[in-house]
């Protein structure tokens, strides 16, 4: 048989189709696994590069955590970089950042700027219930993409 198990007579093709599906499923699983692993590695490398760059610039080399970087995004989005913020305003800055970061994912949409220049968003879709680690990955992915879009990262 020149075509091996893939060459089947049309009346008895079910076993061959089943074998072919099994082979394709294994191949696709490996392909998807490799693709996700490569994406995860790229995200990890980009995240580490970004944290180092922002930490050197804004924290004298002391490593910034995820919340600090979200805060910086909020400052950037508000555009009022040289003023002091009260505690509740700092939380609002982080909220602005989260809305802006998750906007491309379809969770929020920009609505308007108020009279003080603060951006307002409205919810398009409720965020899914994610475990802490999943939330962290989502936010890191969104932050990396934000800085790629701003041409700070490549």
Q: Annotate the chain with three-state secondary structure.
A: CCCHHHCCCHHHCHHHHHHHHHHHHHHHHHHHHHHHHHHHHHHHHHHHHHHHHHHHHHCCCCCCCHHHHHHHHHHHHHCCCCCCCCHHHHHHHHHHHHHHHHHHHCCEEEEEECCCCCEEEEECCCCCCCCHHHHHHHHHHHHHHHHHHCCCCC
For the segment 36-71, what is each residue's pLDDT rounded down to a tens digit?
556 789 999 999 999 999 999 999 989 999 999 999
For the segment 89-147, what is each residue's pLDDT rounded down to a tens digit?
999 999 999 999 999 999 999 999 999 999 999 999 999 999 999 999 999 999 999 99
Question: What's the predicted TM-score (pTM) here?
Answer: 0.74
pLDDT of 24 higher than 70: no
């Amino acid at each position: 048989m020149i075509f091996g198990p893939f060459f089947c007579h049309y009346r008895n093709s079910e076993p061959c189709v089943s074998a072919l599906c099994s082979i394709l499923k294994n191949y696709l699983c490996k392909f998807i696994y490799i693709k996700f692993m490569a994406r995860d590695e790229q995200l990890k490398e980009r995240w580490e590069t970004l944290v180092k760059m922002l930490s050197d610039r804004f924290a004298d080399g002391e490593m910034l955590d995820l919340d600090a970087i979200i805060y910086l995004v909020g400052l950037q989005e508000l555009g009022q970089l040289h003023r002091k913020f009260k505690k509740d305003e700092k939380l609002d800055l982080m909220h602005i950042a989260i809305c802006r970061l998750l906007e491309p994912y379809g969770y929020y949409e920009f609505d308007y700027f108020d009279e003080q220049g603060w951006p307002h968003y409205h919810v398009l879709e409720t965020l899914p219930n994610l475990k802490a680690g999943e939330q962290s990955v989502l936010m890191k992915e969104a932050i990396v993409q934000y800085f790629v879009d701003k041409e700070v990262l490549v």
